[in-house]
Amino acid sequence: MKHRVKKKLLLRIFLTFLMTAVLITGGVFLLAHSLSPEKALSGVAEKNIVFYLSGLQQKLNASLSEEGIEELYKDLHVYARVEGFEDLANRQGLPSFAEIEKEDSHKSDKVSLGRKKGYFFAELKGASPKTVWFISAKEFPRGFAFPFAAIAGFIFFILIMSFLTIRWMMSPIKVLLTGVAKISAGDLKYRVKTRQGGEFQIISEAFNRMADGLEKMVRSKEQLLRDVSHELRSPLTRVGVAVDLMSDEKLKTSIKEDLRKMEEMVSEILESYRLREGEASLKKVEVTWSELLAGIVSDYQEVSPNVLLKLETDGKAFIDPMQIERVLRNLIENAIKYAKENSQEITVTLTKHKDQWCVKVKDDGKGIAEKDLPHIFEPFYRADAARSPGKSGFGLGLAIAKSIVEAHGGRISVQSKLGQGCEFILSIPATNSAF
């Protein structure tokens, strides 16, 4: 079925381009044919031109004088070189009879047509007195250009219609790409909808079935991990009570530390799933940034490297202070954990850009390898092998930090090079902030 769908789609695209090519070629041919100097004047066109020129000749003969010729120009904006009144034509700078004879295209036995010295001219052969009518190219009626404008417009219309047709045919691809982007970003509930039938409908349905299966698989995995983590708490508690009764203090201390780590991991797993509920999981209050950040930074004054607070602005934000504090403490402690022996101060900077609060945590520690950067916010992913082997952690801290920031409607990003430190940037919307 997949090969049949592909062949039909390619055939439709090919036929559309073929139709476009034929129409454009035909339009160009008609345009070239209409401009060809070898083409004889059509009978209908010749008849209409003769009728028009005959009418002009009658008006001229009714008042055959220089004043009458000038009056015709005032009324109709046409010049005339009339036999016997050539001084007037010369003063007006009109081409002579001899020049007109040379420029005659000889497309008709009844009229002479052509262009000379910036004028379009027409002569009714055999008229008395001999008269050549002129229209300045600057005053040439737009309607006379109809054959050329119509053909150019027709070609343009065909191009536009072909573009719109192809765009309409290919629009489901954009819908599918949007679906892929949504699923890739973690929106497993997104489903593709298309009004077109045929092949794209089949592809859309296949995509949605894949998304259903993927969502079911991921949700089942998450539910299993959540249930297992929750059920581990009771046996861990019982083990902890039993360990307290042990007489071997050294062994008891070792086991208690292992139990503490396991309980911490269980808590982090459950917290990461709770935060996926988004904003509903937050307890927002109005907080002054300087007070929140100063309280966090003050706890790290006795450690090395020291933590420095830089306030480039200040204000109040409507956030969950405990969760944001959790994010910043995680970033600061990571910076301390992966500092180099000669590392300088870790800086926490508050800025505001348009409608975004930006909190930056920057260090000059061991940094993160480029290959690890796209994955550091994934649960259980650890880049420690590239930074500092042997460091403790479960790879959940940054994943939880990302969930917290996104629950606030913001985003967290990182800039880093291995051996040159890191800069984590929290961007939180200020739209709900109060000043």
Q: What was the pLDDT predicted at 103? A: 76
For residue range 71-128, list pLDDT tens digits in order. Answer: 888 888 888 999 989 888 888 889 888 888 887 766 678 888 888 888 888 888 888 8
**Residue 173 pLDDT grade (very low, low, confident, very high; cuts 50, 70, 90):** confident
Better-scored residue on pLDDT, 106 or 243 = 243
Label residue 392 exposed, middle or buried (CB < 10 Å: 0-12, 13-18, 19+): exposed
Q: What was the pLDDT predicted at 143? A: 44
Peptide bond into 129 cis (omega under 30): yes
On average, the pLDDT of the chain sits at 78
Cβ neighbour number for residue 185 with a 10 Å cutoff: 9
* Exposure of 129 in the CB half-sphere (CA atoms within 13 A): 15
Over range 318-344, report the average pLDDT.
Answer: 88
For residue range 352-366, list pLDDT tens digits in order. Answer: 988 899 999 999 988
Q: What was the pLDDT predicted at 247? A: 75
User: Quick check: 1 pLDDT over 60?
Assistant: no
Q: What was the pLDDT predicted at 386? A: 42
Better-scored residue on pLDDT, 18 or 208 = 208
Over range 58-63, report the average pLDDT.
Answer: 88
For residue range 44-58, list pLDDT tens digits in order. Answer: 778 888 888 898 889
Identify the residue whose tokens are 């789609």: 9
- The answer to whether 236 touches 215, Cβ cutoff 8 Å, is no
Over range 22-45, report the average pLDDT.
Answer: 63
User: Quick check: 395 pLDDT over 90?
Assistant: no
Better-scored residue on pLDDT, 381 or 269 = 381
Rounded CA-CA distance 273/322 in Å is: 17
Identify the residue whose tokens are 């850009």: 353
Contact partners, residue 335, CB within 8 Å, separation at least 6 = 305, 346, 361, 363, 365, 422
- DSSP conformational letter for 341: T
- DSSP conformational letter for 189: T
Q: What is the helix (H) or strand (E) element at residue 351, kind and residue range?
A: strand 346-353
User: Quick check: 387 pLDDT over 50?
Assistant: no
Q: What was the pLDDT predicted at 31? A: 61
Q: What was the pLDDT predicted at 187? A: 75
For the stretch 337-341, contacts whose Cβ atoms lie closer than 8 Å and that sit 24 or more positions apart, written own/partner, are 337/388, 337/391, 338/363, 338/365, 338/366, 338/387, 338/388, 338/391, 339/304, 339/305, 339/363, 339/365, 339/366, 340/364, 340/365, 340/366
Over range 33-47, report the average pLDDT.
Answer: 62
Q: What was the pLDDT predicted at 361? A: 94
Contact partners, residue 126, CB within 8 Å, separation at least 6 = 110
**Residue 150 pLDDT grade (very low, low, confident, very high; cuts 50, 70, 90):** low
Amino acid (one-letter) located at 58:
Q
For residue range 247-295, list pLDDT tens digits in order. Answer: 777 787 888 777 777 776 666 666 666 666 555 567 889 999 999 999 9
Question: CA quadruple 28, 34, 40, 45: dihedral positive or negative?
Answer: positive
**Residue 435 pLDDT grade (very low, low, confident, very high; cuts 50, 70, 90):** very low
